[in-house]
Structure 1
Amino acid sequence: MATVELRFSAQPEHVRTARLVAAAVARRARVDETVLDEVRLAVGEACSRAVGLHRVNGLTAPVRVLLTEEEKSFSIEVVDEVPADGAEGGAASGSAAGADDGSDGGGEDQMGLAVISGLVDDVEVTSGADGGVIRMSWPINPATVTS
């Protein structure tokens, strides 16, 4: 199991870099070429969400992105450090299908989670005292094993 870890300061301009790295690592992990755009878009949404959460809550900690190649799947975890109880605007939600609380921050957050859910079949959103994680995974193409 190979893992790449990317950390970046919570600045919107770094989201593009995260998207490019995710696509490159996904391609190397043999994710089907037809879903690479979905990988890029989903990672962009997840990273934008994490950046927004960090900025709204005044955190200076970096956003972390873990890209993991397993035997039959490729997964990406986007990790923020905003505690579920301390998030402003209801931003840290425990479910991609959670209800909007009517605040602007929560609405944008829920929209981003809805977009991710539409792009990725296997997605899990969790949040707790240490922050939140969006975990997404895609199958790899075993027919293109590289040596």
Structure 2
Amino acid sequence: MPTVELRFSAQPEHVRTARLVAAAVARRAGVDEAVLDEVRLAVGEACSRAVGLHRNHHITTPVTVILTEEEKAFSIEVGDGLTASGREASAQGTLGGGPDDPETDADGEDEMGLAVISGLVDDVEVRTGADGGVIRMTWPTAPVVVLP
């Protein structure tokens, strides 16, 4: 049940690295080869979303990506660091001004990103806690055959 954890500063150029690592670990975990493109796209979308939230809300903590190989599943959690109180303030408009405000546009992109992820991954969980938001995506794995 190995776990790989990535932490990176909220820079768009780091998203590519996260996608490459996720695809490599997913392949090693036994995720079907035909699904690897979906893994790459979903992780890229989740990481881009997290980077955008960090930048828009001036969050200095790193974006986290945790890749976990379980017995019959492979999961990826992308953490964004925007706490529940920060999300509530943003939703109430205290961080954004109006329809022309970049903060409001970012919230629309956030929702679009979640819609794309939901379209790519059958098993998605989005949660928010005291230490930030997390998108957890899970794919089934094939049993690894060990030859003698």
TM-score band (shorter)? 0.7 to 0.9
Match of 1:81 in 2: 81
Say which SS state the counterpart of residue 71 (structure 1) adopts.
coil
Say which SS state the counterpart of residue 118 (structure 1) adopts.
helix
- 1:50-100: CA deviation from partner (whole Å, max 9, x where unpaired): 10111111111110000000000000000111112214644xxxxxxxxxx
Say which SS state the counterpart of residue 81 (structure 1) adopts.
coil
For residues 145 and 79 of structure 1, the distance between their equivalents in structure 2, rounded to whole angstroms, comes to 33
* TM-score normalised to structure 1 length: 0.87
Match of 1:127 in 2: 128
For residues 145 and 34 of structure 1, the distance between their equivalents in structure 2, rounded to whole angstroms, comes to 18
For residues 47 and 34 of structure 1, the distance between their equivalents in structure 2, rounded to whole angstroms, comes to 22
**Contact 1:18/1:43 (<8 A) preserved:** yes
Match of 2:40 in 1: 40
Query: How many pairs align?
Result: 136
* TM-score normalised to structure 2 length: 0.86
Q: Percent identity?
A: 76
Distance 1:2 1:126, change over 3 A: same
Cα RMSD (Å): 1.7
Which consecutive unaligned segments of at least 5 residues does structure 1 have? 91-101
For residues 75 and 113 of structure 2, the distance between their equivalents in structure 1, rounded to whole angstroms, comes to 19
User: Which has the higher Rg, Structure 1 or Structure 2?
Assistant: 2
Distance 1:9 1:119, change over 3 A: same
Distance apart, 1:129 and its partner CA: 2.4
The 5-angstrom pairing of residues 1-147 of structure 1 reads 1-87=1-87, 89-90=90-91, 103-142=104-143, 144-146=144-146
Q: Which amino acid aligns with 2:33?
A: E
Which consecutive unaligned segments of at least 5 residues does structure 2 have? 92-98
For residues 146 and 45 of structure 1, the distance between their equivalents in structure 2, rounded to whole angstroms, comes to 34
Q: Which amino acid aligns with 1:134?
A: I
Say which SS state the counterpart of residue 85 (structure 1) adopts.
helix
For residues 138 and 80 of structure 1, the distance between their equivalents in structure 2, rounded to whole angstroms, comes to 21
Distance apart, 1:130 and its partner CA: 1.5
